[in-house]
Structure formats: structure tokens, C-alpha cells
Structure 1
Amino acid sequence: MTRSMMASRHRWIYLGAIVLLVGMLITGLLTYTQLHETNEANRKAQQLSEALSAADYPVPAQHQIVHTLGEDGGAVCEDPANALKQAQWKYGMSNGAGGPGQRPVLSDREVVFAESIVLSVYCPDRLAAIKDRIADLKLHDTVRN
């Protein structure tokens, strides 16, 4: 074999090794990022569980909180004081009828304040805006313990 043929063969080995190392690096970075996000989601879910328990609310399973809220609060933290979100929120506090039979109801104070606990854990910077909206609602103790 000539020297140029051996160099060509070695070049393919070097290129293959470089491609393999780059692939392993990318896989490692993605795995680390996913693990970090999972740890953060679990930490916040544990914090929410403790806050709900301290306020005497029922606490969902840890995996349900992680799956629903993730590490950033998901849909709960997407501009909670926005007019459309507020309309949907108030619609959820109606009697459930459609059309002319739909009426607002007095929502339970404890149910409404549970959302502020979630906001305090996942997006505390948005809590002040929603507290102003909650203060304007007519609430009552409607759920029996």
C-alpha cells in the first residue's frame, strides 16, 4: 500500500471518530438539560404541595403537578390577568348553563385563592396583577368541609 492510500484510510477513521464524539456531546447536553428541567419541575411541585398542605387544601399527586405545571407553571402563568383569561376564568365560575340560562354564581373563596398559591410558586411576578382581580370578585364560603 502506498502512503497516500493509508493516509486516506486514516482520514476516514478520524472523521468517523469526530462525528461520533460530536454526536455523544449533543446527546449528553440534551440529557443534562432534560434532567435539569425535571429536577426544577419536581422542586416546584414539592414547594406547591407543601404550600397547599399548609393552607389545608387537598394536594394532588406529585407526578400530576409535574406533568400539568412543569417548571414554568404552563397555562396558569401565561398572562393570568389578560382579559380573555379572566373571561374564561369567570365563565368557569358560572352555573354551567348555556345561553340565557347562564348565571354567575358566588364562587367559593378557598377555590379562588388556591390559584394564587399556584401563582406564588410558579410565577410570583404575576401574582400582584391577579390579586387585584380577585379583590373585585364577590366570593363566599360555598363549599362544605
Structure 2
Amino acid sequence: MADLIRYSSFKRTDETAAKANQLREELVKASYPAPDLDTTERLLGTDGGAVCEKPGNALKKALHRVQQLSTGAPGPGNRPVIADTRAVQAERIVLTVYCPDKVDDFDEAVEDLKTDDTVRRRP
């Protein structure tokens, strides 16, 4: 049996900082909490990382097929929940900053998703 270990390094640059700041500004403008810049730089780098790989497909699979967004009940009681509209909007904002060329594909992939205000907001 062979094991595979993959290490990925992160290099902070002016570009990672600029994109993290731009994302922070866009999220705050849209009334989201300001994300930590260091974490944003590490997670998204300069190209958006995993968020930009196949954004619409990943979200759609998570919402429709993966059990992470379900009632958690076994058997017939297990059914998907309605995704929060703002979660979808937040991903779209990330895409506009890190991979704007994928926004149209994302919009098309999520256009038939049922969303609503399902997450309680802090006052």
C-alpha cells in the first residue's frame, strides 16, 4: 500500500492581499461580516482555489445530493433542506473577485435551485 502526501505552500504577495481586501470590501458592501484577511489570503490565494475550480457544479451537488445539507434523519425522513439565498450570493461575490470568467456558468448552474432565507441572522 502506497501513501501519498501532498503539501501545498502559500506565498503571500501583493496580489493575494489585494484580492483579499477586494473580497472583504465587496462582502461588507453586501452586508456580510468582514472575513479575516489572513485566512482569506491563505484559502483563496490569487486564483480562488477550490471555490473557482467548478463552482456551480460543486454547490449544486452539495445542495441536491450530499447529505451535509439535509435533515439528517435516516430513511424516508431524510430530505434536503432549502439552501440559504445569502450563501449562494456570497459564493457569487467570491467568484466575481477571484474568477469572474466563471460567474455566468455559476449563475446558470444555480438558476434552478430553490433558496430562501433559511439562516437566522444576528440582530
- Shorter-chain TM-score tier: 0.7 to 0.9
Q: Which has the larger radius of gyration?
A: 1
Matching residue's letter, 1:86 = K
C-alpha contact (below 8 Å) 2:52/2:98 kept by paired residues = yes
Partner of 2:47: helix, strand, or coil? coil
Aligned residues: 109
Question: Per residue, is there more helix in 1 or in 2?
Answer: 1
Give the alignment's Cα RMSD to 1 decimal: 2.0
Equivalent positions of 1:43-54 (< 5 A) are 43-54=18-29
Read off the aligned partner of 2:24 and give its amino acid letter.
Answer: S
How many Å apart are 1:95 and its aligned residue?
Answer: 2.8
Structure 1: runs of 5+ lacking an equivalent: 1-33
Identity of aligned residues (%): 47
Change in Cα spacing, 1:85 to 1:117, as seen in structure 2 (3 Å) is closer
Alignment match, 2:71:
95
Cα distance, 1:127 vs structure 2: 0.5
Instruction: Determine the structure 2 residue equivalent to 1:41.
Output: 16
TM-score under structure 2 normalisation?
0.77
User: Which residue among 79, 86, 92 is the counterpart of 1:116?
Assistant: 92
In the alignment, the residues of structure 1 paired with residue 32 and residue 79 of structure 2 have an alpha-carbon distance, to the nearest angstrom, of 27
Q: Aligned to 1:63, which of 38, 51, 58?
A: 38
Q: Runs of 5+ in structure 2 lacking a partner?
A: 1-10
Question: What residue is the counterpart of 2:5 in the other structure?
Answer: none
